[in-house]
Amino acid sequence: MDADKIMVLDAGRIMEFGSPNELLRNEKGMLRALVDESNDKFTLYAMAQDKEELDS
């Protein structure tokens, strides 16, 4: 995920906001639920981790 921050909206309301890796660590998070249902789950997790390591 090539983004510094992600905003997750539900019915026009901000539900989550943070770095991809931060949001994916939230076991009950909406972004994590979407990623977990994706066929690209492992790729997306790896991309989020790589992005955080590059920014450190």
pLDDT computed for residue 32 by the predictor: 97
Provide the domain limits for residue 28.
6-54
Within-domain flag for 35: yes
Within-domain flag for 1: no
pLDDT computed for residue 45 by the predictor: 92
Within-domain flag for 29: yes
Q: Which amino acid is at 51?
A: K
Strands 13-18 and 6-10: antiparallel
Domain count, the chain: 1
Within-domain flag for 23: yes
Tell me the pLDDT tens digit for each residue of 10-49. 999 999 999 999 999 999 999 999 999 999 999 999 998 8
CA distance 11 to 52: 29
Confidence of residue 7 (pLDDT cuts 50, 70, 90): very high
pLDDT computed for residue 2 by the predictor: 80
